[in-house]
Structure 1
Amino acid sequence: MDDIFDPGLLRENPRQMSAATLAFLGDAVYELLARQKLAVTTIPAGKLHRMAIGMVCAGAQSQAYEVLEPLLTEEELAVLKRGRNTHPSHTAKNAKVADYRRATGVEALFGYLWLCGRTARLRELFDAVCAAAESASAAPAQAE
Structure 2
Amino acid sequence: MNKQQAELLNGIALAYIGDAVYEVLVRDYLLTKGLTKPAILQKNATRFVSAKAQAKIIEAMSEAEFLNDYELTYFKRGRNAHSKTTAKNTDVVTYRISTGFEAVIGILHLNEEKERLQEFWNFCLKTVEEQQSELTVFKK
TM-score, length of structure 1 as denominator length: 0.85
Letter in 2 for 1:18: N
1:59 and 2:52 aligned = yes
Measure how far apart 1:34 and its partner are. 0.6
User: Unaligned regions of 5+ residues in structure 1, if any?
Assistant: 1-9
Q: Partners in 1 of 2:105 and 2:135 — Cα distance?
A: 30
1:120 and 2:115 aligned = yes
Letter in 2 for 1:39: L
Q: How many equivalent pairs are there?
A: 135
Q: Partners in 2 of 1:140 and 1:41 — Cα distance?
A: 20
Q: Partners in 1 of 2:49 and 2:136 — Cα distance?
A: 23
Alignment of 1:1-144 (within 5 A): 10-11=1-2, 13-46=5-38, 47-69=40-62, 70-142=65-137, 144=140
Measure how far apart 1:41 and its partner are. 1.2
Q: What is the RMSD of the two structures over their aligned residues, measured on CA atoms?
A: 1.6
User: 2:6·2:107 contact (CA, 8 Å) conserved in 1?
Assistant: yes
User: 1:68·1:125 contact (CA, 8 Å) conserved in 2?
Assistant: no
User: 2:48·2:128 contact (CA, 8 Å) conserved in 1?
Assistant: no
Q: Partners in 1 of 2:136 and 2:50 — Cα distance?
A: 23
User: 2:80·2:96 contact (CA, 8 Å) conserved in 1?
Assistant: yes
Deviates more, 1:76-85 or 1:50-59: 50-59
Deviates more, 1:40-49 or 1:111-120: 40-49
User: Unaligned regions of 5+ residues in structure 2, if any?
Assistant: none
Letter in 2 for 1:36: D
Identical amino acids, percent of aligned pairs: 33
Q: Partners in 2 of 1:140 and 1:94 — Cα distance?
A: 21
